[in-house]
Every structure is written in structure tokens, then in C-alpha cells.
Chain A
Amino acid sequence: MRKKQISVILCAALAVTAVLAGCNKDASVENITGNSSYDKLITVDVFDTLANYQGIQSGWFAKVVKDKFNMELNIIAPNVAGGGDTLFQTRSAAGNLGDLIITKTENGRFENMVKAGLLMDMAPVLKEKNVYKNYEDAILNMNKGLAKEGIYAIPSEISSQSPNVSAEGIEPLVAPYLRWDGYKAIGYPEMKTLEDMIPVMKQLQEQIPKSDSGKKTYAISLFKDWDDNMMMIAKNYASLYGYQEIGFVMEKYDGSDFQNIVDSDSYYVKSLHFLFDANQEGLVDPESTTQNYDILSDKYRDGQVLTSLWSWQGQSYYNTRERKEEGKGIMPAFIEDMAPYTDGCYSMGNGKGVIAIGSQAKEPERLAAFIDWMYSPEGMELVSQANGAAGPEGLTWEMKDEKAVYTDYGWKALPNNDVPVPEEWGGGSWKDGVSALNYKPLALVDTDPNTNEPYITTMWSSVLEMNDTPLDTDWQKYAQGAKTTIELLEKKGALSVAPGTSYIQPKESSDITTLRGQCKAVIVDDSWKMVFAADEAEFDSSLQHMQDTVHGLGYDRVLEVDLKNAKDRAATRKTAMDEYARRRK
């Protein structure tokens, strides 16, 4: 009997703790008073495939929305809800995706959503709004060729800049990032080609043999989670030379070359060989084959991995303020013949992510006003704060002497730290109040008319000035005065800007999809085997096996489709350039 009593008491204790925890105060929307011109408070269901938070939006952004539109946003996020496409399938089977829909559009999804009657024709409510007047071309371009006439969606990241300007702000898609303290210690050796990086990495490994916690370091460490059509990391080394994938094809940024990845002299296979050579020299972490992304992130945090291809992987995890003050950190080096790929601005909008109003929405007028606001400079500052814009003027930033600067609060809170927000701005924690929509209406690198600087604050002159740690200054010296990676690449003429296009991959027949699934499984597996081959002979035999197997499966049919898509995409890039030139005349 006693044991039973003890377990009952423990259960009760657990229940009590749970209840008490639930009573904590957070800035729920009921506490915020609105003062907008709309009478009724409505809850808007936002079906958002880009969001990483599910639930009612709270905090400072919620207050803004409530003040202006008397709405609260209930975010439905497939990423968080889990089950992949499950939520989309069940909600569309029920006929109602949501009131506001932010979704990706590829593979025929957008056309099917229109055909299935899930989206509302916004033309009547949108015609008088600013967003339509300013971005009519982009909107009409998005909605042409659909089963039904009308305006069903507005593309994201619409830019007024030339498609030849990089949309990524300060960092390109890929660059050769490495441990700067080590690189400095070995005397900044010059690297002419990618292969030259191998002896440099070897020296780096000798220079920094142990991580911050005492573990052995490796120059390169890989992971397997994100492999899709091919081995992801190898593909990214190919992007260093200006190529971007589309299915099984690597397309050059300017559309001048299309490579078949299983071809023996494609950049993809060259990258695999590069990794193979690195592995032969002992530069690749042997745990790469079995670790997943989480484990690798921990290694980056600790400093066990010395190079990286992505800024947000190496730099974000390792470059804390303390380490930068010590001169330690990961910064981009320069390889003479490289031409890193970067996406250009989307003058016709980025067709891959769009916003739409659901066909069952009750108050389309209000929703259209909300969308219109999102595409305005003020809306952009607030909505895209999640992606690096400034946030509410007066709270996190202000204009001082005609320049946009962070306030003291801004330095503490931005980009999204756990700092309490003053009650009059909405209360709660700053990071909880950030917009969960994760949607970029306009290009972040476009100029905000309110500040005359780009929307993204990391490009503000006042912010760039603050990059003055010993690490930063050392790097800037090497970069001949450039303050950001993209600036450096532009200086050297090495940036491959692929003109932004609103191209969406069209739907493919299910046969091709199935075939693609089979081929990519083979390609990924054999790629890994090639990287970790014991010797050249094994490398070649794995390559041969890959080529033979995929051709046996019917690879050529998929390749045909991909080549066509690649050529179409290249053509739209050219059209985007021409359109922009025409409009600027």
C-alpha cells in the first residue's frame, strides 16, 4: 500500500507543477488593447509553410497587428506540426487551408491550389492598394497561365534593384570560410585553386590541433541529413564556382553551361574528388558518415571543425563576441579562381514563396489591407525583423544625424535575444515577440525609404562600423578594406550573381518523380563511398557503379526533364534582366 501511496503523491506533485507552470504570465494578446479602425477582433488562421513556430503570435509584433488591424494571428506551421506534408494534405482535403496562406509553390502546387479552389481571387480587394500599384508587374507575372483568371498570390522578396545585385546582403551562398587565427599564424598562404586549399587545411590542422574543449580538430566534417538529389556538401563545393543545382543538373549562374552531375568531368565529381583527396590527407572527420546535423553543430560550437562552406554554419556557431575579441573566429578566405554563387535580386519577385488569401476567409478586405501593409516600408521593417530587418522605430532603432542607428535597447535585443520588452510596446520577451511568419515581402537588400539604407541591419553603415574586434580588423586588412564577404568578392570581380527570377519548377509526372527518387538514392550513396574510398581505384569503381546503376534505372529520362527546366530557368533570368532594363528606361 505504501508504494502505491508514494506513486500517487508523486503523480499529484507532477500535476501540480504542471498547473503552476501554466499560470506563468506571458504577454498574451488579451492583455493588449487595440485602437484600430476595425471593430471586431478576429483570429486569422495563417497556414505558413515557412514558419517555425506554431500557435498564437504574441509579444510586440502581435501588439502592432492588433493596433492596426484588430487581428490576432494563429500560426499553423507544418514545420512544427510535423509529419511533412500531412497537415497540408489533411487541410486541403477538408477544403480550408486557412485565412491567410504563405506557402511554397514548386512542383505544380500553386496551380493545383488554384484549381482545387483553395485560394481566393484577390483582384477585387487588391486593385486600389499600394502593393498592387507598386508591384503590378511582379504580381501579374506570378498569376499568368493559371486555370482560372484572377490574382491568387503575391510573390515574396520583390525587389526594385537590378537582378544583377546580390540579394543576400553580406554573405554569398557559399564561400571558403576557415579559422582565421590559424590562417594568420601560417602566414595567409595564397590559394590559386580549390585543390590548393588542401595543403592549407593540413597546415591549419597542425596549427590548431585541439578544439576549445580539448578534442581533436578536423578541417572538414560532413553530415548526411540534408542530402537530397545528391550529396549536399559536394554540391556546395561546386557552387563555389558559380553553379547551382536544379534536379540532376548544375546550371551556371549566367546560363552559359549545364552540367550533368554524374558526368566524370562535372564540377560535382570534381568536388567529390577534392573531398576524397582531403580524406586521404586525414583532413576529413571520420565520424562524418554517421553523424547528423545536430551533432555537427555541436562540433562547430566547440571549434572542432576548422573550415566551413556556409556563413551561418561556421561563423554563427563559433564566432562569439569573446572569441572574436581574442582574435579567434571563422572568416572567409579567398581562392583565386573561385566564383561563389549568389542569387540576385528578384525584380519579379521570388515565385517560390507566395502569400495568398484562403477561399474561405471571412474578411478578405482586412486581410488585403494587412498584406498591403506588409509590403510597405514600415511593414517590412517589422515583419522581416525575423530575417534581419530593424524592428519598431523608437524601440530598437532611431534616426540620429540622418543615419539609422541602433538604440541601446536595440544593441541588447537584436537580432533576437531574450530581453524583456517594455509594457507599452507589448511586454513579454523580445525573442518571443518576433514575427513568426518568416516571410520576406520585399528584398532585404532593397533600400528602405525611411532610412536610406538597406532593410537588413547588418548592412547599415553604423552597424558595420562596430565590427571592430581584433578578428574583424585583421580580416578587413586582408580584404583590402572590404567590410563584408560580398564586398570583397565584388572588389575582386569574383561574385557570380545569378539574376533573380520568379521561375518555379513546373509539376512533373509521377513517373519522373519516382524515377528521380530511385536515382538520387544511388547517387547519394555512391557519392559518400567515393569520398571515403580507400584509394583512387575504389573511387573510380564507385563512380562507375553510380553511372551504370542510374543509367540502368532510367536516369536519362529525368535528365531530359531537368535540362529543360534548367534551360527554361536560364531563359527567365535573361528575361528578368531585359525586363528590368526596359522598365528603367
Chain B
Amino acid sequence: MRSLPAGKTPRSTIQSRRLFYCIVPFIILCFLFSYFPLYGWIYAFFDYKPPLKLSQCEFVGWKWFKTLFANRTQIGQMIQVMKNTFAMSLLGIATSILPMGFAVFLNEIQCRWFKNLVQTLTTLPNFISWVLVYSVAFCLFTDSGMVNNFLIGHGMIQAPVKFLDSDTHTYLWMTMWNLWKGLGWGAIMYLAAIAGIDPELYDAARVDGANRLQLMKHITIPCLLPTFFVLLMLSIANFLNNGMDQYYVFQNSFNKAHIQVLDLYVYNVGMTGSSLSLATAVSMLKSLVSVTLLLIVNSVSKKTRGETII
């Protein structure tokens, strides 16, 4: 290390600082819109009742956090809800490899217009709101819907199958709907990554005698893996956030035992509606869990793969 004249910083530090200055405006933006509003977490410690101002409301401390575990029956309900949440999230994670597979195999299609058509049309479900998805599902799967009419008309069954209001295979059905909605859209990221692979790699490997499957295994997939791991980690951190819309439209008294995930449960018992404070408390807890999961997965990745994901 050369010693420096007094008062001068090493070039590498200047450079590192300069890089930092480049992102400062964005740090400010991020702070303003994501960190600054967090002062609102204080609402979770009051009994906030709009339209009163916060100062006019009663301070209640940890009350809201304890509400979710108030008594035995309540805890029993929470256990079932958490089971549902876990199941749906696990299934979601398990099927998250499918968009990658979709992209890999779509890449093998030679015909350019067919490829573009498939890509465009398979993203359509992503734009249909869950309310409408349910309308379509109702038309297809209800007792007098298309599927049952077809099955009865061809003598395969005698009485209509209760697709929508039975509790069998609820997890599976919800996962299938999720997949249908998200497959084409999720594959876009992987298609972009594949577009970035140097074609010379393929040419070289083909010269060496690699067949299609080997090309996939040794070139395409390794290039997609970084994206896949990042998305995997983000979904693990999102474990408790299944969203509500999908489960809300499909729920009814008969499948509720298995369809009620945490977000839906909180909505159903009116927690979010009637009490902003309780909703804030729940949101705080979920954030805590998410960030913890994120850090855990990150360190697991460091130990197994040698590098962290974020």
C-alpha cells in the first residue's frame, strides 16, 4: 500500500463514495415513501376510530397484538387458518418452478408467430380480475354448468359433481387456479433471461455433440437459476401474504375450513374493516415475520451456495 500525502483519500474510496452519491436521490425517494410513513405504526397502539384525530383516541398498548390469541376457541381457529396459509404457500412455492419450465420449453418452439401468440394469449388470465374468474368458474363448474352438463349428458355421472362447494381438494383447486392465472405472466421474466444468453454458447455445445436436453440442462437452466433463486426467496418471505381476492370470491360456508388463509380470515372477522388499529397490528406482525424469513433464507443460501441472494 503506498502511503498517501496528507489530506488525500485513496482513489478507491473516492470511487466508492461517488457510486454512492449516484444513488442518493433515490434513497431519499425510497425513504420518503416507504420509511417515513412507518410512523403510522403508532396507530397500532391506540384505539383509533376515524374520524377522531389520533390524539383524541385512547392509548391501549399491546392490546391488539394479544387479541388474535385471546381464548382457546380463537386459538383453535387461528391454528386452522395458519395450516391453510402454510399449505397454500408451500404449494405455491412448489409450483414456482413451472413458469421456468414453461419458458424453457417455449424457447424450443421454432415457429416465431406461434411462439408470440402463445406468449400473448397465456398472459391473458393475469388480467382477468378474480371476481370475473369466479363468474367464469361458476359458469363452468356449477351444478348446471358446462362441465356437469357435459358429464351428465354423456352418461359419465348421474348427479352433478359439487366442484365449488365441497371441501375436498380445496388446496389443489386453489393452486390450479393460481397457476392458470400466473403461469404465462411469470414466464416473461425467464423468457427475458433466455433472450440474454449468448447464442455462441449453444453453437459451441452443439458442435461438441450436445443434444437438446443437455443444452437445456447445461446452458439454459443454469442461466435461469439466479432469477429463480431470487424469486424463490421473495416468495418464501411472502409466506404469510397469500392475498385475499382469490380466496374471497371462491369461499362459501362449505369450503371455508380449508380456504380461509390468514388475509381472508382477518378480513372475514371484520378486523380490517372495523378497526384500523387492529389491521395495522396484524400488518406489523406480518412484516416482522417476512423480514425474519428473508434474513433466514439469505443466510441459508450463504451457507449452502456460498453466496447470499440479496
Partner of B274, one of A92, A290, A514, A549: A514
Which of A109, A115, A510, A521: most chain B Cβ within 10 A?
A510
Q: Is the CB of B268 within 8 A of A521?
A: yes
Q: Which residues of A contact B67 (CB under 8 A)?
A: 511, 514
Knowing A88-B51, A108-B49, A290-B142, the reply to whether A553 touches B71 (Cβ < 8 A) is yes
A93 to B51, CA, bound (A): 7
Stretch at the interface among A380-388, A411-419, A524-532: A524-532
CB distance from A305 to the nearest CB of B (A): 13
Nearest chain B residue, comparing its CB with the CB of A530: B253
A118 within 8 A of B: yes
Knowing A287-B143, A514-B67, A518-B74, the reply to whether A85 touches B273 (Cβ < 8 A) is yes
A21 to B276, CA, bound (A): 41
Chain B contact residues: helix, strand, loop or mixed: loop
Q: Is the CB of A513 within 8 A of B252?
A: no
Q: Which residues of A contact B160 (CB under 8 A)?
A: 286
Q: Is the CB of B275 within 8 A of A513?
A: yes
Knowing A286-B143, A553-B71, the reply to whether A528 touches B254 (Cβ < 8 A) is yes
Q: Which residues of B contact A521 (CB under 8 A)?
A: 268-269
Q: Which residues of A contact B162 (CB under 8 A)?
A: 286
CB distance from B253 to the nearest CB of A (A): 3
> Beta-carbon contacts of B247-280 to A below 8 Å, as 1s and 0s?
0000011101000000000001111011111100
Q: Which residues of A contact B256 (CB under 8 A)?
A: 525
Knowing A286-B143, A525-B256, A553-B74, the reply to whether A88 touches B271 (Cβ < 8 A) is no
> Beta-carbon contacts of B41-76 to A below 8 Å, as 1s and 0s?
000000101111100100000000001001111100
Nearest chain B residue, comparing its CB with the CB of A524: B253
Partner of B253, one of A224, A518, A554: A224
Nearest chain B residue, comparing its CB with the CB of A548: B73
A112 within 8 A of B: yes
Nearest chain A residue, comparing its CB with the CB of B139: A295
Q: Which residues of B contact A88 (CB under 8 A)?
A: 50-51
Query: B164-199: which residues lie under 8 A (CB-CB) from chain A?
Result: 164-165
A345 to B20, CA, bound (A): 72
Partner of A93, one of B50, B72, B274: B50
CB distance from A517 to the nearest CB of B (A): 3
A467 within 8 A of B: no
B138 within 8 A of A: yes
Knowing A89-B276, A290-B138, A528-B254, the reply to whether A112 touches B271 (Cβ < 8 A) is no
A82 within 8 A of B: no
B144 within 8 A of A: yes
Q: Which residues of A contact B165 (CB under 8 A)?
A: 289-290
CB distance from B151 to the nearest CB of A (A): 16
A145 within 8 A of B: no
Which of B50, B72, B162, B271: most chain A Cβ within 10 A?
B50
Interface residue count on the A side (C-beta < 8 Å): 44
B292 within 8 A of A: no
Q: Is the CB of A224 within 8 A of B269?
A: no
Nearest chain A residue, comparing its CB with the CB of B137: A290
Q: Which residues of B contact A146 (CB under 8 A)?
A: none
> Beta-carbon contacts of A505-519 to B below 8 Å, as 1s and 0s?
001001101101110
A224 to B250, CA, bound (A): 12
Q: Is the CB of B51 within 8 A of A552?
A: no
> Beta-carbon contacts of B223-257 to A below 8 Å, as 1s and 0s?
00000000000000000000000000000111010
A514 to B160, CA, bound (A): 39
Q: Is the CB of A552 within 8 A of B253?
A: no
Q: Is the CB of B270 within 8 A of A291?
A: no
Q: Which residues of B contact A507 (CB under 8 A)?
A: 49
Nearest chain B residue, comparing its CB with the CB of A147: B56
A493 within 8 A of B: no
CB distance from B136 to the nearest CB of A (A): 12
Nearest chain B residue, comparing its CB with the CB of A531: B253
B77 within 8 A of A: yes
CB distance from A222 to the nearest CB of B (A): 11
Nearest chain B residue, comparing its CB with the CB of A290: B164
Q: Is the CB of B74 within 8 A of A116?
A: no
Nearest chain A residue, comparing its CB with the CB of B53: A116
CB distance from A239 to the nearest CB of B (A): 22
A463 within 8 A of B: no
Q: Is the CB of B253 within 8 A of A528?
A: yes
Q: Is the CB of A115 within 8 A of B56?
A: yes
A216 within 8 A of B: yes
A224 to B138, CA, bound (A): 14
Q: Is the CB of A517 within 8 A of B73?
A: no
Q: Which residues of A contact B142 (CB under 8 A)?
A: 287, 290-291
CB distance from B26 to the nearest CB of A (A): 27
Partner of B72, one of A511, A526, A552: A552
A289 to B278, CA, bound (A): 31
Q: Is the CB of B138 within 8 A of A295?
A: yes
A113 within 8 A of B: yes
CB distance from B129 to the nearest CB of A (A): 13
CB distance from B238 to the nearest CB of A (A): 23
Q: Is the CB of B73 within 8 A of A92?
A: no
Q: Which residues of B contact A511 (CB under 8 A)?
A: 67
Knowing A89-B276, A553-B71, A553-B74, the reply to whether A224 touches B252 (Cβ < 8 A) is yes
Nearest chain B residue, comparing its CB with the CB of A518: B269
A287 to B277, CA, bound (A): 38
A567 to B254, CA, bound (A): 35
Q: Which residues of B contact A295 (CB under 8 A)?
A: 138
Q: Is the CB of B269 within 8 A of A514?
A: yes
A529 to B275, CA, bound (A): 29
A215 to B143, CA, bound (A): 13
A109 to B274, CA, bound (A): 12
Q: Which residues of B contact A89 (CB under 8 A)?
A: 50-51, 276
Knowing A224-B252, A286-B143, A554-B71, the reply to whether A513 touches B270 (Cβ < 8 A) is yes
Knowing A286-B143, A510-B274, A553-B73, the reply to whether A529 touches B50 (Cβ < 8 A) is no
A84 within 8 A of B: yes
Partner of B50, one of A85, A287, A525, A549: A85
Query: A49-89: which residues lie under 8 A (CB-CB) from chain B?
Result: 84-85, 88-89
Q: Is the CB of A116 within 8 A of B56?
A: yes
Knowing A513-B270, A514-B67, the reply to whether A216 touches B74 (Cβ < 8 A) is no
Partner of B138, one of A97, A216, A291, A516: A291
Q: Is the CB of B77 within 8 A of A518?
A: yes
CB distance from A562 to the nearest CB of B (A): 16
CB distance from B79 to the nearest CB of A (A): 14
Query: A474-517: which residues lie under 8 A (CB-CB) from chain B?
Result: 507, 510-511, 513-514, 516-517
Q: Which residues of B contact A215 (CB under 8 A)?
A: 144
Q: Is the CB of A216 within 8 A of B274?
A: no
CB distance from B80 to the nearest CB of A (A): 12
CB distance from B266 to the nearest CB of A (A): 10
CB distance from B277 to the nearest CB of A (A): 8
Q: Which residues of B contact A552 (CB under 8 A)?
A: 71-73
A529 to B166, CA, bound (A): 11
Contact sample, A vs B, 7 pairs, CB 8 Å cutoff? A286-B143, A289-B164, A290-B252, A517-B268, A518-B74, A525-B253, A528-B252
The 5 A-B residue pairs with the shortest CB-CB distance in the complex, in nearest-first order = A92-B51, A517-B270, A528-B253, A552-B73, A517-B269
Other 15 A-B pairs with CB < 8 A, given A92-B51, A215-B144, A529-B253: A85-B273, A92-B50, A116-B51, A116-B52, A289-B254, A290-B138, A290-B142, A291-B142, A511-B67, A513-B275, A514-B278, A517-B268, A518-B77, A520-B270, A525-B253
Footprint of A on B, CB under 8 Å? 47, 49-53, 56, 67, 70-74, 77, 138, 142-144, 160, 162, 164-165, 252-254, 256, 268-271, 273-278
